[in-house]
Homo-oligomer: A and B are copies of this chain.
Amino acid sequence: MRLWLRIEYDGTAFAGWQVQPGQRTVQGDLEAALRTLAGQAVTVVGSGRTDAGVHARGQVAHADVPDGLDLVRLRHSLNALTGRDVAVLEVAEADPVFHARYDARRRTYRYHASTDPRALDRATRVVLRPAPDFERMNAAARHLLGTHDFNTFCRMQSETENRVCTLFAAAWEPEARPGDWAFRVEGDRFLHGMVRAIVGTLLLVGQGRLDPDDLPRLIAARDRRVAGPAAPAHGLVLECVAYETG
């Protein structure tokens, strides 16, 4: 049967989601745990990769396992077999043709920052000092909404591949604690390193080194070299992935 999995992870100690020889990855750890429980090799297919150091509160994946496994016990066993930095939040039976990557319609990321020093939450939040101008950054972010070729914000450059994405939301929002902010971005798909390149570019706007209305020109350039440096990985969390049904 095909499993539907929803997974939280602290990316700090992982070389990212995707299996890489000789490295600890979330996919690799889940596959090792499922191999133990299923008694056979199991491939875990995520909704998308996350880079080294990037976290998830709602990564979605599918995996095929032998029929008849008890799903409540399976979730419990997966949590017991994986490290404390991985939590399997949900396990359900999926449609046999469900595909965690191809069927995903929207992905939501949050990039967490604070304008004050932080001791707690420092694994998932970058400190921005001096504080950037969040209104200026949001004026710039509005240019990103809608459908564009995002090659400017993609780590792997390509002249030919399809780099068109649609962003439905892209804005900094204050969080519950004074001084805490999150950049929430929602899109149909994201290119390699795209959120961190966008955040890094917005920070240049927030620091006054770029103008909000420079964004259309940067997007049109389709060249990673005109964007800002990638923001640190540890501020980024994959919040959720939405599918056509449920």
Contacts and interface: CB of A to CB of B under 8 A. Distances in A.
Interface stretch (A15-23, A92-100, A114-122, A206-214): A114-122
Contact of A122 (B10, B116, B118, B122): B10
A220 interface: no
A120 B237 contact: yes
A109 to B, nearest CB: 14
Most B CB within 10 A of own CB, among A84, A120, A176: A120
Q: How large is the interface on A (under 10, 10 to 19, 20 to 34, 35 or more residues)?
A: 20 to 34
A119 B85 contact: yes
A76 B9 CA distance: 32
Interface in A19-33: none
Contacts of A116: 87, 89
B117 A55 contact: no
Contacts of A8: 117-120
A44 interface: no
Contacts of A86: 119
A87 B10 contact: no
Interface in A71-105: 79, 84-89
Interface of A: 8-10, 55, 57, 79, 84-89, 116-120, 122-124, 176, 237
16 contacts: A8-B119, A9-B119, A9-B120, A10-B120, A10-B122, A57-B120, A84-B122, A85-B119, A86-B119, A87-B116, A87-B117, A87-B118, A88-B117, A89-B117, A120-B124, A176-B176
- Kindly list the 9 A-B residue pairs having the minimum CB-CB distance in the complex, ordered from nearest: A87-B117, A87-B119, A8-B119, A10-B119, A9-B119, A79-B117, A85-B119, A10-B120, A86-B119
Given A8-B118, A88-B117, 11 more contacts: A8-B117, A8-B120, A9-B119, A10-B120, A55-B120, A87-B116, A87-B117, A87-B119, A89-B116, A120-B123, A123-B123
